[in-house]
Amino acid sequence: MTGWAEMNTFGLLPSALIGAVASARSMTPMAAIASARLAHRAMPGKLILLDHPLFKFGALAMGVGELFGDKMKSAPDRTVFLGLLARVMSAGIAGAALAPRGRERTGALVAVGTAVPLAYLTLAGRKRAMARVGQTRSGLAEDAIVVAAGLAVVRLALRGRR
């Protein structure tokens, strides 16, 4: 028999995982949710903003734009104030959307609490990778991992839902 604590903890797992995604690419969580909404998939939690067409398409555009912008030599570190702010907002919105109904605030807090500290760890990993293979190659590899992870997390949260 599954205990309340196990069910409760697993219910917030997608929120924590989407926070990890936000640590590396701030716009990917919202782009992954926008993609699911464009495919008419229902979210477990209430959506904030991402049911409006402008925000859905805007999230997709920002997600793609971030993938290109990250390769620029002038791209700031993800731990600068605006980078962390973007992660807080994106992780919070996505974490709430992927949390069980009625637990959206907790899901948002879990996602933000995962995204911010992990931003420092993912930055350290990226810097090591950049030293080995360069900015563009390390960025493309990180993109592939993060986008795949974002889509997988959303799919995990939506399994069994229509």
pLDDT reading at 9 higher than 90: no
Q: What is the pLDDT of residue 2?
A: 46
CA distance 63 to 137: 19
What's CA 109's distance to the chain center, in Å?
13
CA distance 114 to 111: 5
Q: What percent of the chain has pLDDT over 90?
A: 75
Q: What is the pLDDT of residue 10?
A: 77
CA distance 74 to 87: 19
In a 10 Å sphere around its CB, with 0-12 CB exposed, 13-18 middle and 19+ buried, how is residue 9 labelled? exposed
Handedness of CA 127, 150, 153, 86 (dihedral sign): positive
| pLDDT tens, residue by residue, 43-74 | 999 887 778 889 999 999 999 999 988 777 78
CA distance 151 to 124: 24
Q: What percent of the chain has pLDDT over 70?
A: 93
Q: What is the pLDDT of residue 5?
A: 45
pLDDT reading at 136 higher than 60: yes
The residue extents of the domains of the chain are 11-158
Q: What does the mean pLDDT of the chain come to?
A: 90
The answer for residues whose C-beta is within 8 angstroms of residue 23's C-beta and 6 or more apart is: 78, 87, 91, 114, 115, 116, 117, 118, 119, 121, 122
Please report where in the chains the tokens 């994106």 appear, as a residue. Answer: 90
| pLDDT tens, residue by residue, 20-37 | 999 999 999 999 999 999
CA distance 98 to 150: 12
pLDDT reading at 4 higher than 50: no
Residues 69-96: b if buried by 16+ CB within 10 A, e if exposed: ebeeeeeeebeeeebbebbbbbbbbbbb
| pLDDT tens, residue by residue, 105-122 | 999 999 999 999 999 999
pTM over the 0.85 mark: yes
